[in-house]
Amino acid sequence: MGEARTRLPVIFISHGGGPCFWTQLPPPFTPTSFDGLAAYLRGLDARIGVRPRAVLVVSGHWETERPTVNVAAHPPLLFDYFGFPEHTYRLTYPAPGSPEVAARVRAVLAAAGIASDAEAERGLDHGVFVPFKLIYPEADVPIVEMSIRHDLDPAAHIAIGRALEPLREEGVLIVGSGFSYHNLRALFGGADDRASEAFDAWLVDAVTDSDPEARARKLIRWQEAPAARLCHPREDHLIPLMVAAGAAGVDPGRHAYADRIAGKAVSGFEFGGRLKARGSAPGPCWGLEAPDPRSL
């Protein structure tokens, strides 16, 4: 696939739980809980159809006072999960960074009056390297990570996304990496699934609203959605969607991924672009056994 020369889509992914594709999480998760998500992530490269110049990933696992951009040429990995098998701390993902694209990210933010910071030491967290090991398994596309603001202001993050929109014309794929449902206690405790269904239905309606201004207004007022705080006691994993929706501009949102993980409704979204149709066959995830270390 050739390098992107047209306006790229914007994508919001639910990135799973820790190193979920390389280990078995305890009940209520099963060995197949993340198969649908794995299949969706593995299929994104072919669906996009062009190879981006770089990917800008906004992760729900990095919070700072103001947007901060990883400017490293060769970012390491940050294993910011705990209590998993030893082999999951030997995963590798040697994707290069792009100081040039990182500088451009900061420039478009500055042009919109949004101050930002640079970070050269922090590694790519698991909201980045875990899904991208499936999206671009050869680690051959430069990755630039950007933080969310720790105030988690949805309007501010939509504005940040709007400032980033020009990057889509420059071969940069913008990806918000979070989770459309993120109540870990309820995930493991078997809380009422109807809460996730109600919130997911509202979220799909909001994101796919054909009026981008109405979409923004709904997302800004997300706390008024059914079961909002039940599904997001803290909205760190929802905020990357706000950035993605802002970067979408006038492009409509599509409900691109729908699943149930541990009984909870989970979604992913795409905006704009000309993504190819999805295949229906799911790909397998890693099971209970540790993978061959040579493949990590």
Mean pLDDT of residues grouped by 10 in the chain (296 residues)?
A: 72 95 93 96 95 97 98 98 96 98 98 98 97 98 98 98 98 98 84 88 98 98 97 97 98 96 95 70 36 39
State phi, psi for 156 to the nearest 5 degrees: -65, -35
What residue spans define the domains of the chain? 10-276
Confidence (pLDDT) at 280: 39
Which of these CATH numbers, 3.40.50.720, 3.40.50.300, 3.40.830.10, 3.10.690.10, describes 10-276? 3.40.830.10
pTM of the model: 0.92
Confidence (pLDDT) at 192: 66
Confidence (pLDDT) at 256: 97
Confidence (pLDDT) at 99: 98
